[in-house]
Amino acid sequence: MRRGAAAVAALLCLGAACLLGRGFDPRAWLPLRRGRLLSGAELARYRGAPGDPGLYLAVLGRVFDVERGRKHYGPGGAYSGLAGRDATRAFATGDFSAAGLVDDVSALSPGQMLSVQSWLSFYSDHYEPVGKLVGRFYDENGAPTEALRQAEDAIEEALKFQAESEQRKQQFPPCNSEWSSAVGSRFWCSKQSGGVSRDWTGVPRKLFLPGSRGSRCVCVRTTGPPWGQPDSSEHRDRGDLDNPQLREYSGCPPLAEQCVLRQ
C-alpha cells in the first residue's frame, strides 16, 4: 500500500511538473478567495465571455463575483462595460464611455460619492466579494492607499452633510408652492408639506443658508421651544420664528399659513 501511494504521488508530481513546464499557472484553477489580490490584467480576464474563468467587477478596488447578474453584466448586457475592471466613476456619473469607465473619483461631488457608497453597499449585500484589485485603491500587499482613504473621507463627509440636510428638512420642511399668471406666487404650509409628516402646520418663511446666494420657502413652527431645545423651560413659546436664518415674506401676515405674492 505504501509503495502504491508513493507511485501515485510520483505520478501527480510528474504531471504537475509537465504542466508547469508548459507555462501553466496553478492559481488559475484555485477558486478566488475573499482575500486574494488581483492585478488589472487578471481582473480583465473575468468578463464572462466564452472561455473566461468568471464574471467580476470592482468598486473602489473591491472585487465582486457578479455571475448571478450575468444578464446585466455579461456580454451583451446593459452594464457589460463594468465587467472585468474597476469603473467606480461610472457608477456615480452614468458615463459608460471609455473615458467614464475609470476608477478616478477624485473630482466627484458629495452626492456622487453617496452614489458610490450606495453601489458598494449593494454589491456587498447581493454579491460575493472575492478579493481586492491592486492599483489605485490597494497596494501590492492589499493595504489601503491614500486614494482610498481620501475617497472614504469624502464619503464620510457626504454622509454627514446628508444627515444635516435631513435634520434641517425636519426642522424646516419645504413649503407647498404654485404659480399662476392670474394670482402670482402662492406659498402655504400643511402637516404634510415638503413630504414631512408632523403634528404642526407652521408658517411660510424665507430660509437663507450660509454660502447660499438665494433663499427657499420653508414652514416654521410657531410654538414651543426652539429646535434642539426640547427641555428648555426658558423660551418665548415661539418655536423657531426667531431663528436668524429666517426672513418674513413682505406683505404677508406674520402668522398666516399661506402667502400670496402678486406680480
3-state secondary structure the chain: CHHHHHHHHHHHHHHHHHHHHCCCCHHHHCCCCCCEEECHHHHCCCECCCCCCCEEEEECCEEEECHHHHHHHCCCCCCHHHCCCECHHHHHHCCCCCCCCCCCCCCCCHHHHHHHHHHHHHHHHHCEEEEEEECCCECCCCCECHHHHHHHHHHHHHHHHHHHHHHHHHHCCECEEEEECCCEEEEECCCCHHHCCCCCCCEEEEECCCCCCCCEEEEECCCCCCCCCCCCCCCCCCCCCCCCCEECCCCCCCCCCEEEECC
**Statement: residue 32 has pLDDT above 50:** no
The confidence score (pLDDT) of residue 210 equals: 83
Nearest one of 43, 94, 46 to 67, comparing CA atoms: 46
The pLDDT of residue 33: 46
pLDDT value for 263: 65
Residue-wise pLDDT for 97-115, tens only, equals 999 999 999 999 999 999 9
Mean pLDDT of all residues belonging to the chain:
87
Asked which of 31-35, 45-49, 251-255 is least confident by mean pLDDT, the reply is 31-35
Position 48 scores a pLDDT of 98
| Cell numbers for 239 | 418655536
What are the residue ranges of CATH 3.10.120.10 in the chain? Answer: 10-167
pLDDT surpassing 90 at residue 23 = no
Q: How far is CA 25 from CA 12, 16, 99, 134, in A?
A: 16, 11, 33, 19
Q: What is the pLDDT of residue 14?
A: 37
Where does the pLDDT of residue 16 fall: very low under 50, low under 70, confident under 90, or very high at 90 and above?
Answer: very low
**pLDDT band for position 30 (cuts 50, 70, 90):** very low
Structure confidence at residue 13 (pLDDT):
39
Which pLDDT does position 236 carry in this prediction?
83
Q: What is the pLDDT of residues 176-233, one digit of tens each?
A: 999 998 888 999 999 999 999 999 999 999 999 887 789 999 999 999 999 988 777 7
Backbone conformation region of residue 177, classed left if phi is above 0, alpha if psi is from -120 to 50, else beta: beta
Q: How far apart, in whole angstroms, are the C-alpha atoms of residue 172 and residue 188?
A: 13
Residue 77 has pLDDT above 70, yes or no: yes
Architecture of domain 10-167: Roll (3.10)
Condensed to tens digits (0 to 9), the pLDDT of residues 131-168 reads 999 999 999 999 999 999 999 999 999 999 999 999 99
Residue at 197: amino acid letter: S
| Cα 253 to Cα 159: distance, rounded to the nearest angstrom | 38
Q: What is the pLDDT of residue 130?
A: 97
